[in-house]
Structure 1
């Protein structure tokens, strides 16, 4: 009989984003609050709240900060009456710790939020041969006249997202934005000639400004 050799397959190191960020100790229990303390901000009839629970949609394992890739999610456990506005993305080199805004129209006219009329596919990883869990697709919602899409929708299928998936916001309730920090691109550094994903923030900031993000 020949010698038997036990092979030990090297375990892949877990990425930081696979761990949800938690405070070192739980927060104390506070009595229920009013106004902003309810977790909902009313922006003149447009109610928004932060969601920090996510469903993973697409992951790439290269490019971006530290060349570890990025992960893209959609918000989950959205309260009744609220709607998704965009997908969420984060570099894989840090713990999952972000949040996104979801919105609800609390006006009588119900004209602050509207479904997109279509989606345009602006990027896909299909032919790139990068390290990824599936192919990724980035869609830009097409907003009706007088409305704006507040972000993109990321999917892992070539089929367009459902029209009812997100909402566009009436233009007078939106603000100008600018890029904040780099989430991901094909290389180890941002390249203006290739796709880049960024976090965003209001262009006009300060205690007298109205933008939230």
Structure 2
């Protein structure tokens, strides 16, 4: 086996992704196994992930990497490697296991001047699956320590993607095709991703049935804060802007789940993790002081923070989508790690539905202001921004207005009778606006909201 001498400088090592007792990290270091040079097959090279022991001690490959062409991929391609997490006293089965044997998939037997190659499928023990295949530069079985299999509950079934390479023209007695592995569409809160391995089969036609391919699964890590304090009106004066409490929640996204318009190797070196921050605060949308001895209805129109153009720009620049799984299209043909990600529903304001992200019309709020009383109406707004590890922002920030969070504070706070004239007046307005009025529960007075046409 020939090992490349020119190994790229190590990036600052990222914190491992932890799923139960499985540690997942990434390497940019590889050993060259074999290339098609000298044969008549299309140019391609097989590589073995080889993380430095001092950088990632105890980490194993999940399978070899196949890349079209003959360029050195060290420092250019990033692929996943795995390690067993030490969980003393845990009753969980080990996350990783060595294969019990190997099954031959293909061997090179063509031109006499071409180095030998054989490709093997790891046979996993019961309860584990193999996520890739292993090559040798002879016709002997690989070492059982060359790869690890993963416990079946830590992976999901995946699909075969596009053709990477086949042996047509090699003159080998066996036919062989290698396909990329594509994860299925992620559900809310998950990232499904492949380690960068390939699925090799005998023959040239992609199998129509189950592929026996797998992808890793991780939960998107969240850092949640307590909700912002509900504003309280303490006198008759209009509250000052910016006095409300804020709460920041963070979803941490691995480097491969974000497009940052950099080569994957450079992106991994510079920002192995991104923070999608959501800052919540109650925004004042209306204040009214009624100094008369009669209750009266007051109407406010509040613009929503949603902006279709800003959302399209954010998605175009980062590939991240808020209200559905992403990416819509593959991020890069050199990005070996393929993935599907979907934000948690609560974090993305989609617990009930995703319709709020497409509602752009201003919101109308109508409330009865009791006599000799002041009221303030607030609404929860969320501000999103995507931040690299060095603190710089990616793309543009954007906002969301939560229709279900309108609240009203009254001063003085003594209970008052709700004016019966409010609802007919609101109904007339809603009919003219050709929109439905949604009554909101309140403690002291009637409040209704609507969307302006």
TM over 0.5: yes
Task: Give 1:143's match in structure 2, choosing from 121, 124, 128.
Answer: 124
Aligned 8 A contact 2:45 2:70 in 1: no
Instruction: Give the Cα–Cα distance (whole angstroms) in 1 for the partners of residues 33 and 71 of structure 2.
Output: 18
Q: Deviation of residue 90 (structure 1)?
A: 0.1
Alignment map for 1:37-52 (pairs within 5 Å): 38-52=14-28
Q: What is the CA deviation profile of residues 54-98 of structure 1, one whole-angstrom value per residue up to 9, with x for unaligned ones?
A: 11001113567xx3x100010113410211110111000767332
**CA distance 1:98–1:178, shift in 2 (3 Å):** farther
Structure 1 length-normalised TM:
0.70
Task: Answer with 82-91 or 54-63: which moved more.
Answer: 54-63
**CA distance 1:158–1:177, shift in 2 (3 Å):** same
Q: What is the CA deviation profile of residues 141-178 of structure 1, one whole-angstrom value per residue up to 9, with x for unaligned ones?
A: 11001100110001111221111221110011111112
Partner of 2:49: 75
Instruction: Give the Cα–Cα distance (whole angstroms) in 2 for the partners of residues 80 and 100 of structure 1.
Output: 16
**What stretches of structure 1 of length at least 5 have no aligned partner?**
1-17, 23-28
Q: What is the CA deviation profile of residues 80-130 of structure 1, one whole-angstrom value per residue up to 9, with x for unaligned ones?
A: 02111101110007673322211011142561101111111111012x338
Residue 55 in structure 1 maps to residue 31 in structure 2: yes
**CA distance 1:50–1:63, shift in 2 (3 Å):** farther
Task: Answer with 91-100 or 80-89: which moved more.
Answer: 91-100
Task: Give 1:170's match in structure 2, choosing from 151, 158, 161.
Answer: 151
Instruction: Give the Cα–Cα distance (whole angstroms) in 2 for the partners of residues 81 and 39 of structure 1.
Output: 15
Partner of 2:428: none
Q: What is the CA deviation profile of residues 164-204 of structure 1, one whole-angstrom value per residue up to 9, with x for unaligned ones?
A: 2211100111111122332211238xxxx941112212123
Task: Answer with 37-46 or 114-123: which moved more.
Answer: 37-46
Aligned 8 A contact 1:63 1:185 in 2: no
Aligned 8 A contact 2:162 2:180 in 1: yes
Q: What count of residue pairs does the alignment treat as equivalent?
A: 173
> Structure 1 or 2: larger strand share?
2
Partner of 1:200: 181
Q: Which has the larger radius of gyration?
A: 2
Alignment RMSD, CA only? 2.9
Alignment map for 1:1-213 (pairs within 5 Å): 38-61=14-37, 67=42, 69-78=43-52, 79-92=56-69, 96=73, 97-108=76-87, 109=90, 111-126=94-109, 128-129=110-111, 132=114, 134-187=115-168, 194-205=175-186, 208-213=189-194
Aligned 8 A contact 1:60 1:131 in 2: no
**CA distance 1:58–1:98, shift in 2 (3 Å):** same
**CA distance 1:95–1:58, shift in 2 (3 Å):** closer
Instruction: Give the Cα–Cα distance (whole angstroms) in 2 for the partners of residues 56 and 72 of structure 1.
Output: 6
**CA distance 1:73–1:94, shift in 2 (3 Å):** closer
**What stretches of structure 2 of length at least 5 have no aligned partner?**
195-453
Greater relative contact order, per chain length (Cα 8 Å cut-off, separation 6+): 1
Q: What is the CA deviation profile of residues 15-73 of structure 1, one whole-angstrom value per residue up to 9, with x for unaligned ones?
A: xxx9x9x9xxxxxx9xx8xxxx8242112331111111111001113567xx3x10001
